[in-house]
Structure 1
């Protein structure tokens, strides 16, 4: 092994073992690329403002070449920021040391000769891949207008405006539209080019010696483009009969081309409008913490959402039915039209990260079980509550990872039996939990960092807070439900308190638990 190869291997292992290096690179990725990062949100706003102001200043310099000290300083500042951003994106695009070590260790483990030249070529090829990407080219060209000695490079000033496509989701969507319809647009461009070339050639042949305003092929090309675009400046007008016929044909073909182009763009925008709206909704969801995702806004989902919304819970509704989501949005809820069984959708909704619970309330056991499986694969800690359609499927929910599974029909049957066998008790419970009295049953989950962890029940002073403890759910214990536990009962992480009382008293207890202090 040569000296240079040995040095490169040691340096690659040094980078791999450096925690500071990995933290720095991860921080840069979070700021520049992570869609759910607040740092990226603030960075994007800063860059949009910087790009707009720098473009305005550079436009000001066109008429005022002498400039101003403050203007010059700002232009240099923006230049430094753009260069730093370009270099950081170049750095985080790939992990060169990991690629180096993969090839080195593969060669060592398989007793093969290690080629430093081929490895470096692969690393450079990966970086060149970034340099030649469209957004990287725009970033590079956006830097060039700042070099004062090269005045002709000011033409690249427009590329600073194109940088805005990197920081705005709506602009990214527009770019996606162009990309998706590139075949149709390319076909239309070929047709338009053929028509323009034919029209300019014809007008050049017919008008050159008859029309003093058409002396070169460029004049004919200019006229053909203006005519086909139906602009009609009137600076060049055909004077021969043949030229007039060419003009009429170009106008008709121009209208047809513009109509075709408009139909392509409009149809694409119609398909993307829902995505644009969802993009804004996902941006709102990214700002939420500790919220509940309700899958399905049918009879059960609607009732559950109504009660939780009235109790002040943050909710996100997801359903395939556009009409149901519109109804949820009219009631002040965040609603997404999507398939809740898809892992990508649940991941974008924050399941496994910011969402604390998910309720599967669709009208299908198969769909509810699949949503449960998907949610559990994304997070081991999230609380999953599932609606059971047929009681014979209840066991499948727990096998899929549900924390709780309930059957609306079974609950209604139990309530009916209670009314027949114990009508007085039923009436008393019904009166207590209706909105007339304001008394409700509610759950208080004990999270990992909650104040009530490792605290005895007597320290909560529930009676002084006008609350009654009905029981505690502890899944790992037998039995899982502790009815009327003793005052010395010690709370643990993931316990759920079932309390009864007025809403504002329960909310006070919940805030104390979340804030981590008894006040």
Structure 2
């Protein structure tokens, strides 16, 4: 039992899930620093003077870093069977499947330089340098933007392949034309189409080294046309990647927002299209560390989703901390009473805010949606959903808090009525 709890704690720290946020972030920041340090050292080690003067120290740092990356890889394999998609495969097959995952392969690449240095200290210098530089790929684990860029490139691989074929065809055609035009005039520089391909590549990419240039009038005309075509050809894959990256970011943000809204009990019975309509009502709000999000005594007329950061909710007997993906203030959409707790930003936060007035307008437009939400609200009140401060049971469970029956003695009164606007506080 103790081994299982240790394994679970290790999984939460390595994968940044659960309540061990501080330890997980500390580990990820340390590994990011170590990756960047290793890349810098791998570059410096190729300088002969640096390698001669600090070779011993660099070797010690590289061995230590390699040992840490190897331990990280082994520990990630150890907890691989706790990943939700892999649990059903059992301890052995879940680890084998995880080992074949791109993230695990990159982790293995990060650990391989240590093995090469230990067993092939002299023969594998080039391989070790390359593998050390490939540790840069490990940053993708800690960078959502980099992962989105990789996904965008993979998603548009057919379009990128098509544009590459077009560029290759233009290069070949340009090289052939220039060979035919300039071969008699410059037999040394345009000895073959292969030499013409070199000129075509440097021209289309707008590099233009100047070591091979056309001298005949017809050759200059061909070169001018190729240079103008180069701008459009280079912009083609750039435009594909840029649009795909923007679409990937938008899609990821929408999916994250949609999934957060779908977790709220008040909306869990809605259709996907209805949840999407509610998601469109969310407004972004940034709060600096220590800033007050909601003051005790204010009218609770909005709920919050935490897209980044962490908030602290000070209750009567304890402080509840909620992190990314959590929500609070659901009861504000049901029972617009005074807030009984002050909510502050424990760290810099990016919040998504759903105001009751905005939701009310949507419900006024869609009677079916309004009926579903109001039925759920009445069922929650009729079922006697208990409240601690202004948090419902589901919201407390996000933070791992389970209040006693005496503490959760207050039941919300339903005041969020589609047809009655008179009870709303004008001070909101």
Match of 1:87 in 2: 74
Q: 1:369 to 1:229 in 2, by over 3 A?
A: farther
Task: Confirm or deny that 1:350 pairs with 2:326.
Answer: yes
Structure 1 counterpart of 2:46: 62
Answer yes or no: is 1:42 the counterpart of 2:26: yes
Distance in 2 (alpha carbons) for counterparts of 1:187 and 1:44: 38
Matches within 5 A, 1:183-194: 183-194=158-169
- The answer on whether the counterparts of 1:188 and 1:261 sit within 8 Å (CA) in structure 2 is yes
Shift of 1:174: 1.9
Question: Per the alignment, do residues 245 and 94 of structure 1 end up closer, same or farther by CA in structure 2, a change over 3 Å counting?
Answer: farther
- In the alignment, does 2:50 pair up with 1:76? no
Deviation at 1:215, TM superposition (A): 4.9
Normalized against structure 2, the TM-score is what?
A: 0.58
Distance (whole Å) between structure 1 residues aligned to residue 392 and residue 76 of structure 2: 42
User: After the TM superposition, which residues 335-414 of structure 1 pair with which residues of structure 2 at under 5 Å, given as runs?
Assistant: 349-351=325-327, 355=328, 357-360=330-333, 361=356, 362-363=359-360, 364=363, 366-367=368-369, 388=374, 397-399=377-379
The 3 A distance-change label for structure 1 pair 238 and 404 is farther
Write the distance in 1 (CA, Å) between the matches of 2:77 and 2:293. Answer: 47
Write the deviation string for residues 361-384 of structure 1: whole angstroms up to 9, x where unpaired: 3222644665x6xxxxxxxxxxxx
Aligned pair partner of 2:4 in 11, 22, 25: 22
Gaps of 5+ in 2: 261-277, 282-291, 306-310, 312-322, 334-355, 413-428
**Residues 260-317 of structure 1 deviation map (CA, whole Å, 9 limit, x = unaligned):** 23332333344355568789999xx9xxxxxxxxx7998xxxxxxxx98343889754
Report deviation, 1:152: 1.8
Alpha-carbon offset, residue 48 of structure 1: 0.9
How far has the Cα of 1:46 moved from its partner?
1.2
Distance 1:47 1:217 in 2: 49
SS of the aligned residue for 1:163 comes to helix
Whether 1:494 and 2:408 are equivalent positions in the alignment is yes
Say whether residues 1:200 and 2:172 are aligned partners. Answer: no
The count of residues paired between Structure 1 and Structure 2 equals 317
* Structure-2 separation of matches of 1:21 and 1:173: 36
Q: What is the match of residue 338 of structure 2?
A: none
The answer (yes or no) to whether the contact 2:179–2:193 under 8 Å persists in 1 is yes
8 Å Cα contact 1:445/1:497 also seen in 2:
no
1:446·1:495 contact (CA, 8 Å) conserved in 2? no
1:239 alignment partner, SS class: coil
Q: What is the CA deviation profile of residues 103-130 of structure 1, one whole-angstrom value per residue up to 9, with x for unaligned ones?
A: xxxxxxxxxxxxxxxxx8xx4xx65654
Question: Structure with the greater relative contact order (CA < 8 A, sep ≥ 6): 1 or 2?
Answer: 2
Unaligned stretches of 5+ in structure 1? 1-18, 102-119, 286-294, 299-306, 319-333, 335-346, 373-387, 389-393, 406-441, 454-490, 499-519
Q: Does the 8 A contact of 2:39 with 2:132 survive in 1? A: yes
Residue 236 of structure 2: aligned partner: 260
Change (3 A) 1:98 1:172: closer
Match of 1:166 among 141, 145, 153: 141
Alignment correspondent of 1:311: 296
Alpha-carbon deviation of 1:49?
0.5
- Backbone CA RMSD of aligned residues: 4.8
TM-superposed deviation, 1:256: 1.5
